[in-house]
Amino acid sequence: MGVEPVPGEPAAVADCDGERVLVVADYHAGIESGLQREGVELDSRADQRRDSVLSLLDRTDAESLLVLGDLGHAIGDPWSVEREEIEAFLSAVTERVPVTLVKGNHDGAIEDVADAFERVSLTPGHGTRRGTVGFAHGHTWPSPDVLSADVLCIGHEHPVVKLEDEVGGGRIERVWLRSDVSAEPFREFHSVDLRTPDELVVFPAFNDLSGGTWVNVAGQDFLSPFLPDALVDGEAYLLDGTRLGRYDAI
């Protein structure tokens, strides 16, 4: 099966040596508090986010949860509201399944919270490999071991597309990016002729308040240091599975 998105959701199920793993990226707990500091007033959606993940665990019969980085929103120490949300989230999820957190650039001090939970394991930002699937946040280069997987999953980018209709109306939609992989940027960075994945899957942000990279708008720079160079004929898909074609030709 490899990695299959859950229809209609910013989440996927990965087959990791026979274990069904629910994978989400860029949860950004406490984001409303961060937006408030920028003058944007929003009610907290912490309960809805947590309940969505719990519902997905039930819906997919997943045996574990893997968060592809940025469980939290603050770059450094979690704010008090953020810490409370993360603690409530991990408490609820670990009652059902173990959790793996791949550290993201917004998870600077996530250990202060995660270490209190026995069923939570934390991996560095360069990622981890589970069977034939590699996982990294995407803000830094994956390790050679992660790159030896058949499929590489990353977050960080929050890919979105800008869609316009005939009368000039428009909307922004979160998308998946799926692509063959160019080995060159990874081999150049690691200075070795290493094996690279056959497929790259860039996850949409789980948190719909977190913005993103408009991948079909000229002049929009990618955030990940190996994108777009690692993408070969990358295609975009809406959350409902609609294939949009090449991301840069939409």
Q: Around 173, how many Cα atoms within 13 Å sit in the side-chain half-sphere? A: 23
Written as six digits, the tokens of 61 are 């019969």
- Residue 204, both tokens: 């949409």
pLDDT band for position 166 (cuts 50, 70, 90): low
User: How many domains, the chain?
Assistant: 1
Whole-number Å distance between alpha carbons of 169 and 64:
41
- Matching residue, tokens 């939970």: 117
> Which range of residues forms the domain containing residue 160?
3-249
Overall residue count recorded for the chain in this entry: 250
pLDDT in tens, 83-124: 899 999 999 999 999 999 999 987 778 888 888 999 999 999
Query: How much is the pLDDT for 164?
Result: 78
**CA–CA separation, 62 and 246 (whole Å):** 31
What's residue 35's pLDDT?
55
d(CA 250, CA 247): 6
CATH code assigned at 27: 3.60.21
Nearest CA among 109, 108, 128, 116 for reference residue 89: 116
The answer to whether residues 161 and 170 touch, using CB atoms and an 8 Å cutoff, is no
| pLDDT score recorded for residue 107 | 79
Element (H, E) at 180: strand 170-181
Please give the single-letter amino acid code of residue 35.
Answer: L
Summarised one tens digit per residue, pLDDT across range 169-221 is 678 899 999 999 999 999 999 998 898 999 999 999 999 888 888 998 887 88
User: What's the pTM value of the predicted model, to 2 decimals?
Assistant: 0.93
